[in-house]
Structure 1
Amino acid sequence: MRQAYRAALLREAHALWPYLAPPRRVLDVGCGDGTLLQIIREAGNPQVAGLEPSEHAATHAREHLQLDITVGTLETAHWPANTFDTVLLRHVLEHLPEPAHALKHIGRLLRPGGHLILWVPNCDSWAAQWLKRYWIGYDPPRHLVTFSTQTLRQLLIQQGFHPRTIAHEWYGIEWAWGIRLWLHQRLRAGRQLTQILGWLHPGITLASTPLSALAAARGRSGRIRVVAQWLGTR
């Protein structure tokens, strides 16, 4: 699973390289263990920094990857205005109680013309429609808000961003999780069945990827990536 996760991030970094290449300064908000920042640095841009609320994850990224990580949140971080060219927000916005407030902070940190790249679940997806409460994008209580492409676009525009591209992810991870959750509840899974479902997860993901790819082609996948340009005004 770890190798698949890193491979997915490598694909993302390659696709987004025009926004990540030097001399751009890149901030990853909610950077976790720093894997994405490490990939960007290895690809040729050492001007990377991370913001992470978990002291444990931040310490790992500092000590094992020698990355520049600040512990805290967008509200507590104290970088000067116009510090970064690109801000990454990978599956973070849905966890925040006030997404608009977070975007205001990001706008302050970005230089005019800079870019925000964010990943969120898409509640207007086939997976959300068919899996219903088993769709992993809802994930209460960790996910506090949900977005469709339309509502996310509106929010970005209201906060001074111009959405440039919306890409729909094609691999079947959300379907795999939804099927696992459905089976877990229907079969009243104990520890052994839960472990078996975990072993089957890669196969379920692979089997459901054609359906996910079709949803992506129709603009209805469950996970989207948006590139938005900061216009410098609201």
Structure 2
Amino acid sequence: MKPYLRTKDYSVTGERFELVYDPNFKMLSTQPQPQDLNRYYESQSYISHTDANKTLIDKLYQRVKKYSLMKKVGLISKYCSGEKTLLDVGAGTGDFLLKAKKSGWDVQGVEPNRDARLLAEGKGIGLSTSLHSLPNRKYAVITLWHVLEHLPNLEKQIENLVSRLTDKGTLVIAVPNYKSYDAGHYGPYWAAFDVPRHLWHFSKESIQCLFAIYGMKVIKVKPMIFDSFYVSLLSEKYKTGRQNYFKAFAIGLWSNLKAVGSKEYSSHIYILRRA
């Protein structure tokens, strides 16, 4: 099958990969998919596992993250049905769960990365290593903030997630959108392809197709307007070897402006419930 795009791992190994289009789910998959993914996360530049706050990009990320945490907790509160029970998959260093806990949520989280779990524990947030190690219970809200694209055995993972929702539970998923303007502009240098850590690359149609199989329906799609700026900063570095802050800001802004009409933002949040 002819690849949709050829790109490489810009942040850790420099290895090359292909993105292959799946017409059934209208999504891209990274090929080949390495058997051992752990070594591709072994980098201090992987900010969601480190709480890094040294470079300008780190500082911008942490500033936006702080604002986003407040918005995320407000979002799940709006769509919560029943008890305020929350499971966060791919919880990183635990900041979202900590914010939710302070807002009255009964929280649990999953994070396979040991260093990230240790940082979360230092904040008073204990995390499980996998979904399988969690107690057998259901949750009113399950969140995956830029995590679904990382999960191997995707369909099995989705089935497992849906089975852990209460009957009126809500699934909240944030993922990059390969149909956004900034994705098209940067092509193989688009940082949100992030191969091979990102095994899957979604569009709005992808999410609808995938989750419909498990009786889930998208009830709301919300833009993540800050993502285009952060992704463009990284993409400029991958493409030119320089930060190019002004150009990255311009591309990020233009991507958001284009999306006002196209509705194709750099990343989207999907709110799903049982159909």
Q: TM-score, normalised by structure 2?
A: 0.71
Checking the alignment, whether the CA contact within 8 Å between 1:126 and 1:220 is kept in structure 2 is yes
Residue 187 (structure 2) aligned to one of 129, 132, 135: 132
- Is 1:174 the equivalent of 2:217? no
Task: Return the offset for 1:20.
Answer: 5.3
Q: Which amino acid aligns with 2:237?
A: R
Q: TM-score, normalised by structure 1?
A: 0.82
Checking the alignment, whether the CA contact within 8 Å between 1:168 and 1:216 is kept in structure 2 is no
Q: Which residue matches 2:71?
A: 11
- Which structure 2 segments of 5+ residues have no match? 1-58
Checking the alignment, whether the CA contact within 8 Å between 1:169 and 1:213 is kept in structure 2 is no
Q: Which residue matches 2:116?
A: 57
| Deviations 1:155-193, CA, capped at 9 Å, x for gaps | 011122111111122222222221221111xxxxxxxx6
- Which structure 1 segments of 5+ residues have no match? 185-192
- Is 1:210 the equivalent of 2:253? yes
Task: Return the offset for 1:204.
Answer: 5.7
Distance 1:19 1:107, change over 3 A: same
Task: Return the offset for 1:92.
Answer: 0.9
Residue 240 (structure 2) aligned to one of 183, 205, 221: 183
Q: Which residue matches 2:268?
A: 224
2:134 and 2:67 mapped to 1: Cα distance?
33
- Is 1:87 the equivalent of 2:142? yes
Checking the alignment, whether the CA contact within 8 Å between 2:172 and 2:272 is kept in structure 1 is yes
Moved more, 9-18 or 113-122: 9-18
Moved more, 210-219 or 115-124: 210-219
Q: What stretches of structure 1 move > 3 A for 4+ residues in a row?
A: 19-23, 203-209
More helix by share: 1
Q: Which amino acid aligns with 2:133?
A: A
2:76 and 2:254 mapped to 1: Cα distance?
25
- Is 1:157 the equivalent of 2:216? no
| Deviations 1:90-132, CA, capped at 9 Å, x for gaps | 1111111222111111111111110110111111111111110
Moved more, 212-221 or 94-103: 212-221
Distance 1:33 1:18, change over 3 A: same
Checking the alignment, whether the CA contact within 8 Å between 2:89 and 2:142 is kept in structure 1 is yes
Residue 66 (structure 1) aligned to one of 124, 134, 139: 124
2:249 and 2:70 mapped to 1: Cα distance?
19
**SS of structure 1 residue aligned to 2:63:** helix
**SS of structure 2 residue aligned to 1:4:** helix
Q: Which residue matches 2:27?
A: none
Residue 32 (structure 1) aligned to one of 92, 99, 106: 92
Q: Which amino acid aligns with 1:53?
A: P
Distance 1:205 1:18, change over 3 A: farther
Q: Which residue matches 1:189?
A: none
1:36 and 1:204 mapped to 2: Cα distance?
31
1:40 and 1:127 mapped to 2: Cα distance?
31
| Deviations 1:7-66, CA, capped at 9 Å, x for gaps | 222223223321359831000001011001111122x2241111111222222212x221
Cα-Cα RMSD: 2.1
1:68 and 1:20 mapped to 2: Cα distance?
23
Distance 1:22 1:158, change over 3 A: closer
